[in-house]
Amino acid sequence: MPSATINGAEIAWQQMGEGPDLVLVHGLATNRAFWYGGVASGLRDRFRVTLFDLPGHGYSAMPPQGYSATALGHGIVELMDQAGIERAALVGHSFGGACALEAAVAAPRRFSHLGLLDTRVNRLQPEMRLHDVTELSAFEREVAARSSAAFGYDWESETQVGLRFLEAAARLRAAGTVNDARDEFTPFGEGRGALRAAQQWLRLLDGTAAPAEFNQPGASREAIAALPMPVLLMYAQHSRCEISGRQLAQLLPQARYLSVANAGHFFPVSQARRVIDELMAFLEPQRAVA
């Protein structure tokens, strides 16, 4: 497994397929395997797909700091340098999308296309609350109820509910008090690696500067609006992140906005075929040029 040194930390990465370069960036509390079963395998026949584990995730090192979207965006460019990638399409999910956005702002000429999948942008959406959506998923209802009872979480006053849900889910998994039986993809869900992933996430939260750095605002509105490349915005219908998506659509007139019906935050897993098809259509001009 190849590795690169980014911001002083060793990063695990890999490539698959042949063709124009495409870099995929996973979100928080997952790893590059998030893309394996569906999206990456569906694109590898037409693109050289680069996957990597964010710092503190998967097989990458866990440095004491360097977890802001801005720092990680610069890290994406460093990884491309070390991997010999001159220019690529860039797609990120959730916080991975925020990192991708920062990379595009930092080095716009290095990226032919930018895809943001259910990405919250702190600059545009500094708070995220439980009832920013009208209905909670089964996972959210379970985590809210169990974590309130076990750890005293106050969900009504929480202003960073996305990050807090990940923390609560990890603490419930570590305590062995979370229900395995659910139909949707969830962090620290079923499988042999669920407990290990939860424990790794808690080490990251408890032992590094990551919690504060995750909330840094990132690029200005003006810098985002100046992005020159085609942009695809895919957001789950009724997602809390839609606030960011709609504002991005206003800032980026060249962007295409897609609302994914009957989907949760992790739709790249649950609706991989839809994501593959949309990305193929979005990236086809790149293939023609290549």
Domain boundaries, the chain: 3-126+217-289, 130-213
Is 244 exposed, middle or buried (CB count within 10 Å of its CB: 0-12, 13-18, 19+)? Answer: buried
At the topology level of CATH, where does 3-126+217-289 sit?
Answer: Rossmann fold (3.40.50)
Beta bridge partners of 9: 6
pLDDT tens-digit series, residues 60-87 = 999 999 999 999 999 999 999 999 999 9
pLDDT tens-digit series, residues 265-285 = 999 999 999 999 999 999 986
Question: What's phi and psi for 182, nearest 5 deg?
Answer: -155, 155
Question: What's phi and psi for 124, nearest 5 deg?
Answer: -95, -20
* Alpha carbon separation from 123 to 17, 68, 69, 151, 278 (Å, rounded): 35, 12, 11, 30, 27
pLDDT score of 23 more than 50:
yes
d(CA 160, CA 131): 12
Model confidence, pTM: 0.95
Count CB atoms within 10 A of the CB of residue 288: 8
| Three-state SS at 59 | coil
d(CA 149, CA 252): 43
Average pLDDT over residues 159-179: 91
